[in-house]
Amino acid sequence: MQTRKLGKSDLEVSAVGLGCMGMSFAFPPYPEKKEMISLIRKSVELGVTFFDTAEAYGPFVNEELIGEALAPFREHVVIATKFGFKFSSDGKMIGQDSRPEHIREVAEASLKRLKTDRIDLFYQHRVDTNVPIEDVAGTVKDLIKEGKVKHFGLSEAGVKTIRKAHAVQPVTALQSEYSLWWRRPEEEVIPALEELGIGLVPFSPLGKGFLTGKIDENTKFDKTDFRNIVPRFTEENRKANRGLIELLDKIAEQKKATSAQIALAWLLAQKPWIVPIPGTTKLHRLEENIGAADITLTSEDLNQINSALEKIKLVGDRYPEELEKRTGL
C-alpha cells in the first residue's frame, strides 16, 4: 500500500483508509463485533494504517470496537476520532457541544474506549455556532501540548472557519464529503486547503454505496438506514442518477477494474494529499477498495471523465435541509 502525507504535516497514512462508522451506526443491519474485529485486523495486514471513528457512532461502541481491534497494532496505525455532540443518558444525540470543558471530557473518554494514550487526529465533528472556533482550536492546541492529541482536524467546515482555526492551531486535515457524486469542495474548499497545506479526507467517497453500481431504484434499505432520509436516495433520484454509474462502468471496463475502484482512483488522482476513507463491513469490498490505490488514471482518463460528467445532470440534495445547515460554516 502506498502512503500519503496529509497536507504539510508529518502525519503519514495509507493512501486509502478505512471508515468504520457503518460497522455500528447509520447503515444497519450490523455484523457481529468479532467479525468486524477480524475485518479491521485483516485491513492492517493488507496495508491500511488509517482508521476513522467517532464517539457519535453508536454512540461510543464504535470507538470501543476500534480500540479492541487495533490494540495489537497500536504503534503502527493512525486513529482519528471526533468530538462535538452531546448525548442523553440513553445514548440519543441531543445537540452540539464544542465547549472547551466538553472537548476535554470527550478526549478523556475516547482515550479510554480506544485503549490508547493519544488520539492521532482529533476532529471537530461539525462546526458549533455557539462556540467560537478559536476557543475550539485553542483547547485542542492545549491537548496537543499535553500529549493527549497529535493532530487537529475539522469536519465539513467552510473556508472562513478553517482559516480562523488554522491561525490558532494548524489544522492537519479536513474531513468532508467529496466524490464524483459531490464535487462542491472543488469550488472554494480545496483551493484553500492547498494554500494552507491542509490534507483532505473524503468521507462517503463511494456516495454511501451508490458509486459501487450495486444500488438502483429497486434497492430496499433497512427501515433505520440513514439513506432513507437522504434526498439523493429516493427511488426516482436513484433512477435519474444512473448516468453516472454507466460512465463509471465504461471506464472500469477499459481499466479492467470495478466502478468503485475508478471512483476511488479518481479521488486519489485529484491531489497527492487526499486520502479517502471508504467504509465497508465485507472483506471482498475491503480488498476491492484497497485495490484502487494501484490504479493510475492518466490526464487523458481524467479529461474523459470530466467531459462526460459535464453532460450528466445529477439530481437530489445530499442531505435533508436541517442536516445540510450544519455543514460548510
Starting at the earlier edge strand, list the strands of the sheet with 199-203: 18-19, 50-52, 78-83, 119-124, 149-155, 171-177, 199-203
Amino acid in the structure at residue 4: R
Burial of 240 (0-12, 13-18, 19+ CB in 10 A): middle
Q: Choosing from 57, 123, 178, 319, which is the catalytic residue?
A: 57
Strand, coil or helix: 142: helix
Q: Are 148 and 107 in contact (CB under 8 A)?
A: yes
Q: Are 227 and 285 in contact (CB under 8 A)?
A: no
Query: How many angstroms separate the CA atoms of 222 and 30, rounded?
Result: 11
Instruction: List Cα–Cα distances, 142 to 79, 153, 175, in angstroms.
Output: 19, 14, 22
Other CB atoms closer than 10 Å to residue 288's CB: what's the count?
Answer: 19
Query: How many angstroms separate the CA atoms of 144 and 237, rounded?
Result: 44
CA-nearest of 232, 240, 242 to 319 is 232
Catalytic annotation on 178?
A: no
Non-local CB neighbours of 160 within 8 Å, separated by 6+ positions:
329
Strand, coil or helix: 150: strand
Show which residues are catalytic. Answer: 57
